[in-house]
Amino acid sequence: MQTNFSDYENPCYEMGWGGTSKSGRPSNIFKTAAVQPVKPEKCQEAWKKGYYPRLICTKSKGNATCHGDSGGPLICEDKLTGVVCFWQRLRYRNT
């Protein structure tokens, strides 16, 4: 698995059937969201004690994962890179 996320020049993709509105109801359509991996140092800074070395954090300017997307793939450069397991809106500075 890739660990140097600065090597990813293209976006990665998270996918799933998760909610697409504030109601959190699952989507009827399988959705894909373009995301960018966050450098491990920034991820650790954001998660503090909840961080562990194999955690992959991503950011997006638009769509992202939501309730119901857990278990979906994280695809980077046409390879399964991770699995969506939880989400939280965090703010990153200077990433």
What domains appear along the chain, each with residue ranges and CATH number? 5-83 (2.40.10.10)
Give me the torsion for CA of 78, 64, 37, 54, rounded to 10°.
-90
The predicted structure's pLDDT at residue 47: 79
Strand partners, 35: 12
Q: What is the DSSP letter of 28?
A: S
Residues of the chain with pLDDT under 70: 1-8, 22, 24, 87-95
Tokens 């504030």 belong to 22
* Pairing state between β 31-37 and 58-59: antiparallel
Q: Which residues fall within 8 angstroms of residue 94, CB to CB, at 6 or more apart?
A: none
Q: Is the pTM of this model over 0.75?
A: no
The predicted structure's pLDDT at residue 91: 45
The predicted structure's pLDDT at residue 89: 56
